[in-house]
Structure 1
Amino acid sequence: MTDQTIVILHNEDNVAVALRALEAGTPVEAGGQRVVVRGSIAAGHKLAIRRIARGSAVTKYRQTIGIALADVEPGEHVHVHNVGMPEHHPHRPTHSDAVRSLAPVDRPGAFQGFVRADGQVGTRNYIGVIASVNCSASVCHAIADAFKGDAMDPFSTVDGVVAITHQSGCGMSATGDGMALLRRTLTGYACNPNFAGVLLVGLGCEVNQVSGLTRSLEAGSPALVETLVIQDEGGVRETVARGIAIVREMLSAASRIRRIEVPAARLKVGLQCGGSDGYSGITANPALGAAVDLLVRHGGTAILSETPEIYGAEHLLTARAVSSDVAGRLLDKLRWWERYAAEAGGDMNNNPSPGNKAGGITTILEKSLGAVSKGGSTALNAVYEYAERASESGLVFMDTPGYDPVSATGQIAGGANLVCFTTGRGSVFGSKPVPTIKLATTTGLFERMRADMDFNCGQIVDGSLTVEQAGAQVFQLMLDIASGTKTHSEQNGMGDREFVPWLRGAIM
């Protein structure tokens, strides 16, 4: 940083980020040079700190984030009006045999968790009512709603009963990729260690039969699994009454489970960013990355995802892959996404949302370079399919869309028992049965949405914390939340409608 009004992230960059709103005529110091702002520039947006010729690379983080569409003079606003994407984006095979590893911590941390029969550890203790098909969704909600409020008073060690419903389950091939993906997601949720037990509810005539789900569960089911089929029970009222009785029995069993101390290595954390802004890659994402490095040093697992949002920064991950096979799998996923977007009439640069752009993010390349910093600096150990069980420890990657609810759903199905979510515009996402920790990029956002945010990463640009200090505090917050401290999204009752599986394939 060379001026309190701007930040230059690398001395080879030709843009700086405004730390506050700048008006035309404002002088700023940039690398020993005096630059005069040529127009209004919002906080979090970029300005040129030296001349950028038309067709030349616009650089931030010492990386190309776009190509100048016109000559850009020092002090000019650099954004969508004068920056475009390169015509071609080659996926560079940059796997290195010199992968960085971090030494284990001398004194490992711990949290209070729920140890399940299969050895997994939960951070929450829920009962799930899971729909096989949308046709049983309302019945699932009716069963879960019976345990709202003081109905849970006798079960103080249970966090609640949550309905897991969706829009699919029928009108699709029983043997296609879409059905396989849905079943993997539903069974992954059912096996998440934050569930003490699950009740599977189907209609009876759907393609996604409850019997098929139970067969999928046999390899790793929770201790408590029950099923109901509406047509077999005699209708809605009978099924709801029977479901309430089953769940009440499950609650009695779940309430006898107690938290015990377990090592921090049992944490499996899904990494998310949503409503990103120009500060995301400066504060919250690097702070989360520092926390991830600590988590990995403790032997834990961090799941980086949102494949479209690493586009343009994948070389930073492949360079850290433990093998050429892992690097190749990641590049294969990106090539698939390029084809997938093109088939839908789009391209990868369609990803930045209006809110991202209003917050200062110009291209998907810029967004991705900030997003990958959530993954810290350690080796990339594995690449997983959507909702696949993440069995490797350390930093791993799961192929998911960039849309936060869909991505987090895949991570939770893959076994995440905690989610950390950075936001610059102000996401209110929450999830059940897994708590979501919200990290605000700026003090302004943290103050404005204090009842939604859990940590203020804006302290980094305010000068009161370094990235490493913020990361250490975020890691401690992970342990506290994992031990039972409620996140703001939990306090606000979020998470009952945020199960959003990735739906692919023909609906017939």
Structure 2
Amino acid sequence: MKNKLIKVHPDDNVAIALIDLWQGDKIEFEGEEVIILSDVKAKHKITMVDLAKGDKIYMYGVLVGKATEEIKRGDVLTVNNIKHEASQTFQKSEVTKWQAPDVSKWKDRTFNGYHRPDGQVGTANTWLFFPLVFCENRNIELLKDVFEKELSFHKSPKQRQLLRNLISGKDENTSVEFEEEESEVFDNIEVKFITHQGGCGGIRQDSVMLSKLLAGYVNNPNVAGATVLSLGCQNLQIDIFKNSLKEINPDIKKPVLIYEQQQMGTVDEMMNTIIRESFEEIKKANNIQRKPAPLSSLKLGLECGGSDGFSGISANPTLGYVSDVLAALGGSPILSEFPELCGVEQELVNRCVDDETAQKFMDLMKSYEKAAEASGSGFDMNPSPGNIKDGLITDAMKSAGAAKKGGTSPIQAVLDYGEYVSKPGLNLLCTPGNDVESTTGMVGSGANVVVFTTGLGTPTGNPIAPIIKLSSNSILAQRMPDIIDVDAGAVIKGEKTIPEMGEELLEYIIKVASGDISSKADQLNQNDFIPWKRGVSL
């Protein structure tokens, strides 16, 4: 590797170590010699100027921290010598002009998707089972056991063989003969099951929020239809769910089967009815075939998790490039995780297409931060121990890199959690920074595919939308090949530019969206679903 340091923005007063550096190393950087004053691990930052206590620290061209003590040029930044500091945003200060990327090579490209009656196009064809209230979780699990075994979905003979060997006391690698398993009954549809802990026992607002989320899952183009279980007496009544679905899509034509246990007699009677009627609809849904669709039909969730000090200079800008290409084509990229936009609000406000959109973003950010502070926390407590260990030591520093996933295109809409994407172009969606809660929310808002950048590795998936993992560094990709789909480490090594890496990623997205390949998360049958609960339990 030729370069040992990188400065992201000309206005930055810190640089990122691309490799491990040692005290006393002398490095030529930007025409000057830099003497390293302390050992610095790759991904961590050193100051390029002498800093006095209280001096501001800039990275990605924005304020990301403040020195808590004197720091000499060439010394490493740590949680002990800097703290979170972010710029304040009050109103739109300028109109950002966007230079859209050249999309001539992409404008006629298509993916093979599932066309729905409302014009949306799915990247998957899923029949979804879910409850309106946690009381029905057991029945959902019973249905899952029956359908997955009889339809031969998601077999894992390697793990079964290991367990059988352990039980019998045999060597772990001993081969065991299994009874021949039937092939899958359906070849063009997946049957998925989700459970949750909501629907009752909390504030009514949480049930309404959950209702909107579940309605969004039914309306998501990856879903062919759904079986919904209700107990009957819970906060999230069937009528509330139906109204939420009607708000999103007044003329929805998908089959939605709803069952209320307190009106159906015994569990056996209810389950027999559900299985019989659901199976008939699943058979019909299996007949839906993939057909070509323009890339503008993609609603792309932009997610990051297990981030490291390289995420903001390799994986996230790569995804940002794809976001810009998709926005220019008329697609709908979705940027979420509002706590991880702290410190870059001004840039995002200036990118909003009008004052109303900008104001909604600021109102949601302020309301969220106020709620966090009321609970005894705050956005400044966001970086996880893993983030800090790998170079992200303030929330503003983490946010500045995380925001790169959204590229540079204009922000066409700002949505609160549970609102559904209806406008082409970049959408901001208010979600937590929690990986699964955020991904759950984006899919509920219509994302039919998600790219998840990571520097440390995470196995997160989703029941109905393929999750593509993009690593920030090649070491991770080599260590966890069963989780990582695409490796952006070539950017760090200077082997590829951001546009080159972005085009490679977009080609991979098209293959996944067309069903030509399965994402690693789908191969692992990783189906995570955690709704965001804003209120308290009562």
Which residue matches 2:126? Answer: 126
Please provide the CA RMSD for this pair. Answer: 1.7
Which residue matches 1:72? Answer: 71
In structure 1, how many angstroms separate the alpha carbons of the residues matched to 2:127 and 2:431? 26
1:149 is displaced (CA, Å) by 5.2
Retained in 2: the 8 A contact 1:95–1:320?
A: no
Q: 3-state DSSP class of the match of 2:241?
A: helix
Which residue matches 2:422? Answer: 391
Which residue matches 1:501? Answer: 531
Retained in 1: the 8 A contact 2:112–2:293?
A: yes
Spell out the pairing of 1:444-463 with structure 2 (5 A cutoff): 444-463=475-494
Per-residue CA deviation, residues 124-144 of structure 1 (Å, 9 max, x unaligned), is 001001100000012112212
Unpaired runs of 5+ residues, structure 1, are none
Tell me: CA distance 1:44–1:427, structure 2 relative to 1, closer, same or farther (3 Å).
same
Q: 3-state DSSP class of the match of 1:77?
A: coil
In structure 2, how many angstroms separate the alpha carbons of the residues matched to 1:40 and 1:98? 40
Per-residue CA deviation, residues 172-215 of structure 1 (Å, 9 max, x unaligned), is 35xx4222211111111111111111001011221212243234
In structure 2, how many angstroms separate the alpha carbons of the residues matched to 1:426 and 1:475? 21
Structure 2 residue corresponding to 1:491, chosen from 489, 499, 523: 523
In structure 1, how many angstroms separate the alpha carbons of the residues matched to 2:399 and 2:514? 32
Q: 3-state DSSP class of the match of 1:437?
A: strand
In structure 1, how many angstroms separate the alpha carbons of the residues matched to 2:511 and 2:272? 37
Which residue matches 1:377? Answer: 408
Retained in 2: the 8 A contact 1:139–1:239?
A: no
In structure 1, how many angstroms separate the alpha carbons of the residues matched to 2:103 and 2:493? 29
Which residue matches 1:477? Answer: 508
1:93 is displaced (CA, Å) by 2.2
Structure 2 residue corresponding to 1:172, chosen from 202, 208, 226: 202
1:222 is displaced (CA, Å) by 4.9
**Is it true that 1:432 corresponds to 2:463 in the alignment?**
yes
1:102 is displaced (CA, Å) by 2.5
Tell me: CA distance 1:95–1:431, structure 2 relative to 1, closer, same or farther (3 Å).
farther
In structure 1, how many angstroms separate the alpha carbons of the residues matched to 2:244 and 2:380? 38
1:146 is displaced (CA, Å) by 1.9
1:337 is displaced (CA, Å) by 1.7
In structure 2, how many angstroms separate the alpha carbons of the residues matched to 1:103 and 1:56? 37
Which residue matches 1:205? Answer: 233
In structure 2, how many angstroms separate the alpha carbons of the residues matched to 1:340 and 1:123? 36
Spell out the pairing of 1:321-340 with structure 2 (5 A cutoff): 321-340=352-371
Which residue matches 1:359? Answer: 390
Q: 3-state DSSP class of the match of 2:70?
A: coil
Which deviates more from structure 2 when the two are superposed, residues 266-275 or residues 232-241? 232-241
**Is it true that 1:465 corresponds to 2:489 in the alignment?**
no
Unpaired runs of 5+ residues, structure 2, are 153-183
In structure 2, how many angstroms separate the alpha carbons of the residues matched to 1:257 and 1:95? 49
Q: 3-state DSSP class of the match of 1:78?
A: coil
Per-residue CA deviation, residues 393-439 of structure 1 (Å, 9 max, x unaligned), is 01110111111111111111111101111011111111110000100
TM-score of the aligned structures, taking structure 2 as reference length? 0.90
* Aligned residue type for 1:217: L
In structure 2, how many angstroms separate the alpha carbons of the residues matched to 1:352 and 1:312? 14
Spell out the pairing of 1:216-231 with structure 2 (5 A cutoff): 216-218=244-246, 219-231=250-262
Tell me: CA distance 1:95–1:146, structure 2 relative to 1, closer, same or farther (3 Å).
farther
Per-residue CA deviation, residues 420-469 of structure 1 (Å, 9 max, x unaligned), is 11011111111110000100000111111111001101110112110011
**Is it true that 1:233 corresponds to 2:264 in the alignment?**
yes
1:256 is displaced (CA, Å) by 0.5
Per-residue CA deviation, residues 31-83 of structure 1 (Å, 9 max, x unaligned), is 22212222221110111222112111112122221001111112211121100
Structure 1 residue corresponding to 2:215, chosen from 174, 183, 187: 187
In structure 2, how many angstroms separate the alpha carbons of the residues matched to 1:101 and 1:462? 27
The structure 1 segments of at least 4 consecutive aligned residues displaced by more than 6 Å after TM superposition are none
**Is it true that 1:113 corresponds to 2:113 in the alignment?**
yes
1:92 is displaced (CA, Å) by 4.1
Retained in 1: the 8 A contact 2:418–2:445?
A: yes
**Is it true that 1:139 corresponds to 2:139 in the alignment?**
yes
* Aligned residue type for 2:62: Q
Which residue matches 2:151? Answer: 151
Q: 3-state DSSP class of the match of 1:146?
A: helix
Retained in 2: the 8 A contact 1:26–1:37?
A: yes
Provide the aligned length of Structure 1 versus Structure 2.
501
Tell me: CA distance 1:7–1:105, structure 2 relative to 1, closer, same or farther (3 Å).
closer
